Every structure is written in C-alpha cells, then in structure tokens.
Amino acid sequence: MGKKWVYKFIKIFSFLSLSIIIINYLVDPFAHYRISSWYKITSKKQREVTPGLAKNAVYETVVLGSSMAENFKPSYIDKTLKTKSLKLCMSAMTAHEMNSLLKVIISNNKNIKHIILALDLYALTGSKTRIRTNKAPLYLYDNNFITDIFYLLNKETLRFSFRMSTKQRGKKTNFDDMWYWGNYYTYSKDRVLKTFANIKFNASFVNHEYTRDIFIRNFNYNILSLIKENPNIKFTIFYPPYSYLTYKDMKNKKWLHEGFAFKKYLTHIKPSNLDIYDFQCVSKITQDLSNYRDITHYSPKINTFIIDSLRDKKYMQNNKNIDKCLKQIELSADKE
C-alpha cells in the first residue's frame, strides 16, 4: 500500500510539474524565449522582463539605465537618431546588473551598433558584484538551458502566465509606454521641496562606499571591460541631470569631489568607441526645480532634451572642457 501511494504521488507530482512547465513555456510571460504578440508584456517585473527583451526584440540601439531612463520613448529615439531602438530599465540598477544585461545584449544581438548608458554614480557604490535584491532572477541572464528550469517550474512565472492569458490577452505591447511614468506626476518647485523635507534622501549612505577608488573599481570591472572587449560597438555614457539639491546633498555628505575625481578619470582614459555626456552641468535644467518631481527624477521633456543633445553632440565631455563642467556642478551645489 505504501509503495502504491508513493508511485501515485510521484505520478501526480510529475504530471503537475510537467503541466506547469508546458504552460510557462507556451505563455512565456517574461519574454524569455520570444516576444509574444497575443498579450501585452508586463511592465511590473523589470528584472525578469529586461533580459528576455534584450534577447528577443529587434533593435540596433539600446538605452540602458535606472529610473533616470524610464521616460525615454523608443519611437522618439528612432526618429531623432535614425535607428531602431529598445529601452531597458531597472529601478535603482546597480553596475553589476548593468553588466549582466550588457552581456545578454552583446551575446544575443549581432546587429547591435550603439549602446547608450545612463550612468548613476549611486550604481557604482558597494561591492563590484552588488545587486539590488538577493531575489534577482540571475538564471534569466545566462544562455544555459539547464537553468531555465528555475523559470519554467516557478510559481511566480505561473502566476504571470495566468495574468498574461487573462488580463493582458489581446492587448498590444507599446514599448514607448513600458516603464514610462512621465504623465503620472506633477513637476514643480513646491513638490520637490516638500518631498525633500519629508523623505530622508539616500538613507543607506555609507561614506566609505562613495569614493573615487570604489567608483573606478566597480566601473572598470562591470562596464569598461565590456566597452574595451567590443570595439565595433559605439558606447555612449551620460550622467543624468539631477536637481541642484542632489549635488548639495553630495557636498554635505563630502563625496561630491569623489564623483568629480571619477569623472576626470573616465574622461582621461576613455576608449575610442566611448563618448561621454554630462548633463549635470546644464544649469538651466538642474537649477530649475519645476523640471522635477523630487530631487533626482526629471520630467519627460528632459529625456527629449538628452536625445536631442546626443544627436547634436552637445554637452560631450573631454579633457579640455571637463573642469568647466565640474565647476558648474559645484556652483549648483552651493545654490541656496
């Protein structure tokens, strides 16, 4: 009787497991195998969806970044830069998460020509392999079919398989809208000052993690290595234009000049296939709080400004103009 029960349990367990695997494979809610046309791809699971889009979407230019890149519209990038683009974002993306996604892009898209990186210095803090959460689905970032079992036999995948098959079925994915939040907030000086007063910004700040050497080590390990290994791909790095209150916070916490030292280092050693743009010294943006919803996040018109500037090659940094740019940032930090 005992053996029969065990055999029956094994059969039931095997049947249920196989059923889950088949459902998750056919629906593929995180676009790991294909870009499905019969449902709208979810925007709610950035770290699950971005590697799948990187593998399976059609594009030659990619914009990669944290929430600072979420309000870019691929359609505008396509029109302005004369390309076919994809936007891949992760809120509070770390340098190592950027590294993981870059590897997916480079190894799976032979047509990639241009990679645009929104580089937050916050992403370069901590250990060189830091990721935002220990629940990150790293098995989705490799090309090892064996690890796919963690995707296919996964209750969260199954939950989204049912969600895609019901609530999202028949809807079309709009890549302009994916992760876009620009229309959901107001942008004003009063709002920024209110949020700054009520929220402790960068509460996890630890002084020894915000140094030139840490920035350089983490950048070299995660990003510079890939730039050098792929000389046929054009890379563009831009520093997002936070409001002047952010630079004031950096100065108060005594790491503003650590960031300056990193920027000088990168400008000095940059490979020939890398262009660097610094929008943090554009005072007409950073000193006007009506451009922001809080002290860092800017309105969609700034995303448009950035793309236009890339087209026109404005605010590109080199050894001749970097000191002037950094001086302007420091003046912003001193603004009352």
Q: What is the DSSP string of 119-182?
A: --GGGG-S-TT--S-TT--GGGSS--GGGGHHHHT-HHHHHHHHHHHHTSBTPPP-TTTTT--G
Q: How far apart are CA 187 and CA 299, in angstroms?
A: 7
Q: How far apart are CA 266 and CA 181, in angstroms?
A: 31
The per-residue pLDDT for range 31-62, each reduced to its tens digit, is: 999 999 999 999 889 999 999 999 999 999 99
pLDDT value of position 3: 73
Domain assignment of residue 63, yes or no: yes
Residue 68 is predicted with a pLDDT of 97
| CA 327 from centre of chain | 28
Cα(115)–Cα(62) distance, integer angstroms: 5
- What range does the domain containing 237 cover? 52-144+171-333
Query: Within a domain: residue 156?
Result: no
Place 12 in a pLDDT band, splitting at 50, 70 and 90: confident
- Per the domain annotation, does 39 fall within a domain? no
Q: Which of 172, 304, 329, 166 is nearest to 245 (CA)?
A: 329
Band the pLDDT of 335: cuts 50, 70, 90: confident
Q: Which is it for the CA torsion 197, 204, 209, 140, positive or negative?
A: negative
Rounded CA Rg of the chain: 22
Res 11: pLDDT = 82
Per-residue pLDDT, 150: 95
pLDDT band at 157 (very low <50, low <70, confident <90, very high): very high
Residue 1 has pLDDT above 70, yes or no: no
Distance of CA 91 to the CA centre of its chain: 6
| Structure confidence by residue, pLDDT tens digits, 73-111 | 999 999 999 999 999 999 999 999 999 999 999 999 999
Query: Is residue 74 domain-resident?
Result: yes
Percent of the chain scoring above 70 in pLDDT: 99
Q: What is the pLDDT of residues 270-323, one digit of tens each?
A: 999 999 999 999 999 999 999 999 999 999 999 999 999 999 999 999 999 999
pLDDT at site 141: 94
Q: For residue 29, is it within any domain?
A: no
Q: What is the mean pLDDT of residues 112-128?
A: 97
The answer to the question of residue 15 being in a domain is: no
Query: What pLDDT, on the 0 to 100 scale, is given for residue 143?
Result: 86
Q: What is the dihedral of CA 14, 45, 104, 223, to 10 degrees?
A: -140
- Count CA atoms within 13 Å of residue 56 on its CB side: 18
**Domain-located, residue 33:** no
**What pTM value is reported for the model?**
0.94
Q: Is residue 220 part of a domain?
A: yes
| CB contact at 8 A, 240 and 118 | yes
Start-to-end CA span in the chain (Å): 81
Confirm if 72 and 63 have CB atoms less than 8 A apart.
yes
Report the CATH number that the domain containing residue 315 is assigned in CATH: 3.40.50.1110
Q: What is the pLDDT of residue 232?
A: 97
* C-beta separation of 329 from 321 below 8 A: no
Q: How far apart, in whole angstroms, are the C-alpha atoms of residue 29 and residue 217?
A: 36
- Residue 204: phi and psi, rounded to 5, are -90, 10
Residues 212, 218: Cα–Cα separation, whole Å: 10
Sheet architecture: strand order including 274-278:
85-89, 61-65, 114-118, 234-239, 274-278
Q: What is the average pLDDT score of the chain?
A: 94
Q: In the chain, how many domains are there?
A: 1
pLDDT at 2: 67
